[in-house]
Structure 1
Amino acid sequence: MKFKNIARVAALAIVAPATLFAQDTTLRLSHWVPEGIAPASKGITPWAKDVEEASEGRIAIQVFPAQQLGKAPDHYDMVKQGIVDFAWVNPGYTAGRFPIYALTEVPFLVDDSVRGAKAIHEWYAEFGAPAEMPDVKVCFVHPHAPGTLHSKDKITAPEGIKGKNIRPAHATMARFVSLLGGGPVQVPAPEVREALSRGTAEAVTFPWGAMYDFKLTDEVQQHLDMPFYMSAQILLMNPDSYAGLSDADKAVIDSHCTPEWSSNVAQGWFDDDMAAREKLIADSEQTLNVPTEEEVAAWRTAAEPLIAEWRDNVTAAGGDADAIFDGFVKSLEANDARY
């Protein structure tokens, strides 16, 4: 009897193996920061592990950090073309390609990254992704806590930018630097230390935690102590990779690609940024400079042309700039994330 059962199972396996054995799926996720730093260790990696656990092991996510599979600006095309199944993308690294999403880059609009992540996800799912990212599936929005300007010399007002070479966080910040008379030096985050040490750049717009993540405290020791800007990365999935999953595994992915998960992954990065800011305060070699109310007002006034420029770009791309902007503001206000 024992041998007959074995033979029967073997015969059935030849006829219909898919009905007998669950097929495990390995999905490749690429990002461009070192594995040990906050965006990965407190955001991307925990999310990937939760997907694996929720699928009861049917899905395995293989993470490739630190530009192993491609340069940071190439990640959108990597996931669009199916080179990887997931990619962590900074839309601001490809200037002009995603004019709607660029609104998230305009400074002094979002004051809280955790609530802001949910607000951006809800807004973009309605007003942006169907128009400018139709080739991919949006999983989560992943901003750092509002970052600031870190420089070799003290800068507290817009006029301090003039004549300085500054590494901007993204395309919109690059235009802001140019607007103020500075020279943008556009290199991916992993290359910032080299730019500062060589003197190619004299300042950088970065989240607080990046000072330690990229070992920059010896290069820039003056820090503008105000919520200056935000950069919201976004995790995207190749639609064919999604379509190839079973219904049960699609449900797992869907449950992990939500505005609530955007808040979840943003929380870890926020906590790390705030801990880094406290560490900088406690370091006698670092100086945090608090701007006056007048200087804050001057920064905000200086940034107003960026909104007008954003409107022009969206209109040129065929979008309803007024409706999209109003939708963004309403989403921020509904989530208590308006600057």
Structure 2
Amino acid sequence: MKRFSMKSLALAGALTAVGLMAGAGMTFAQEVTLRLHQFLPAQANVPKFVLDPWADKVEKDSGGRIKIERYPAMQLGGKPPELMDQAIDGTVDIVWTLPGSTPGRFPSTEVFELPFMMTNAEATSRAYWDIFNSKMKDTEFKDVHIIAAWVHGPGLIHSREPIAKLDDMKGKKLRAPTRIVNALLGQLGATPVGMPVPAITENLSKGVIDGAVIPWEVTTALKVAELVQNHTEFGGDHALYTTTFVLAMNKARYDALPDDLKKVIDDNSGADVSALFGKTQAGTDAAGRKVAVDAGNNIIELSATDVEPWKTAAQPVMDNWVVEMQGKGVDGQALLDEARTLIDKYTQK
């Protein structure tokens, strides 16, 4: 029988202890699983080109210690307007949603949805983040941790019948995403119908609505070019409208992360990420437009001159919003002026 010296046994014991400590070290290196919930199908442009790449990068930057499970199309239950509350109450960990899905709850975000405010999505998203960080973070969004805040590319009208002039809007039942865009469509003569994006396809196919306002990028997932044949684009330096988004995380979940994993989230948050998200989302507009062109649909391109009557007709929406904000204790005119200044600043860069 082989005999072991006391020295050998001591060495073996030391190696075992080292192994146990290494194992314990691996155990103490906290691993976190986060559930990301959102309202579009997984193959849509925003999940595919914005949310998934972001989640993949967070996982990679964390050395695999953060795992982000992705749940598209409201797979975890509820309706799109409930997403923010799901993030706040911890039903899920992260959501992608529209603040405007819950009218009046995040009023300051509406400044970027006002008519003819947006120039391009990247510049407007930077302006949005700046104002979020200085004016909304500790007030309207105090119950949630915001990772990014951005807008989509130019909004336009998709309709069964051609809309080439302002009078063509009369009586048209058009889907709108938010309170402000509802007000805009009503001011322009249409009958606004508020509904979340996933409901557009069914309501167009059943004839409940005559058209919808959405950016080009989401039309492919919704098969809009198959359901309507006319698309009205607005020329000039400013888009008809845009919609604000946030990527929001449960505050307690974020606060409970160890510092190194919190840094991973922080490094993938903020102004540059918001601008990238806006630019990326708008960058997929061209593919959606091509589908409509290839289908032989009618693309109505309004010139900057053609758009002037629309701007004049839309002005009361802005005026009314400023007054409404004053009633909420917000200096709406100052906020509007600041948003315009920041958008212009970032557009010129």
Q: TM-score range by the shorter chain?
A: over 0.9
The equivalent of 2:129 in structure 1 is: 121
How many aligned positions are there? 335
Q: Which is worse superposed, 80-89 or 155-164? A: 155-164
> What does 1:46-65 correspond to in 2, within 5 Å?
46-65=53-72
Distance in 2 between residues matched to 1:92 and 1:161, nearest whole Å: 23
Aligned-pair CA distance for 1:268: 2.4
1:256 corresponds to 2:268? yes
Aligned-partner SS, 1:257: coil
Offset from partner CA, 1:31-65 (integer Å, 9 cap, x none)? 11011111110001101111111111111111111
- Matched residue type, 1:268: T
Contact 1:167-1:201 within 8 A present in 2 as well: yes
> What does 1:68-107 correspond to in 2, within 5 Å?
68-69=75-76, 70-107=78-115
Distance in 2 between residues matched to 1:142 and 1:325, nearest whole Å: 17
Q: Which is worse superposed, 246-255 or 173-182? A: 173-182
Q: Which is worse superposed, 260-269 or 233-242? A: 260-269
The equivalent of 2:5 in structure 1 is: none
The equivalent of 1:186 in structure 2 is: 194
Aligned-pair CA distance for 1:337: 7.0
The equivalent of 2:208 in structure 1 is: 200
Aligned-partner SS, 2:292: helix
Aligned-partner SS, 1:211: helix
1:322 corresponds to 2:333? yes
Q: Which residue among 4, 22, 30 is the counterpart of 2:13?
A: 4
How large is the Cα RMSD of the aligned pairs? Answer: 2.1
The equivalent of 2:38 in structure 1 is: 31
Q: Which residue among 260, 280, 286 is the counterpart of 1:274?
A: 286
TM-score with structure 1 setting the length: 0.92
Offset from partner CA, 1:67-125 (integer Å, 9 cap, x none)? 11231110111111111111111111111111111111112111101222122111221
The equivalent of 1:132 in structure 2 is: 140
User: Gapped runs of 5+ residues in structure 2?
Assistant: 1-8
Aligned-partner SS, 1:335: helix
Cα distance change on mapping 1:41 and 1:199 into 2, 3 Å = same
Aligned-partner SS, 1:142: strand
Distance in 2 between residues matched to 1:228 and 1:274, nearest whole Å: 17
Distance in 1 between residues matched to 2:177 and 2:35, nearest whole Å: 26
Distance in 2 between residues matched to 1:212 and 1:164, nearest whole Å: 23
Q: Percent identity?
A: 29
Aligned-pair CA distance for 1:30: 0.7
1:265 corresponds to 2:277? yes
Cα distance change on mapping 1:141 and 1:280 into 2, 3 Å = same
Aligned-partner SS, 2:174: strand
> What does 1:186-335 correspond to in 2, within 5 Å?
186-226=194-234, 227-284=239-296, 286-335=297-346
Contact 1:38-1:268 within 8 A present in 2 as well: no
Distance in 1 between residues matched to 2:241 and 2:22, nearest whole Å: 58
Offset from partner CA, 1:6-39 (integer Å, 9 cap, x none)? 753687699xx57863121011111110111111
- Matched residue type, 2:338: G
Cα distance change on mapping 1:187 and 1:12 into 2, 3 Å = same
Offset from partner CA, 1:111-149 (integer Å, 9 cap, x none)? 101222122111221122322111111111232211200
User: Gapped runs of 5+ residues in structure 1?
Assistant: none
TM-score with structure 2 setting the length: 0.90
Distance in 1 between residues matched to 2:27 and 2:249, nearest whole Å: 29
Q: Which is worse superposed, 39-48 or 88-97? A: 88-97
Offset from partner CA, 1:182-207 (integer Å, 9 cap, x none)? 22222211110111111110010011
Larger Rg: 2
Contact 1:116-1:337 within 8 A present in 2 as well: no
Aligned-partner SS, 2:42: coil
Distance in 1 between residues matched to 2:47 and 2:138, nearest whole Å: 27
Distance in 1 between residues matched to 2:304 and 2:124, nearest whole Å: 24
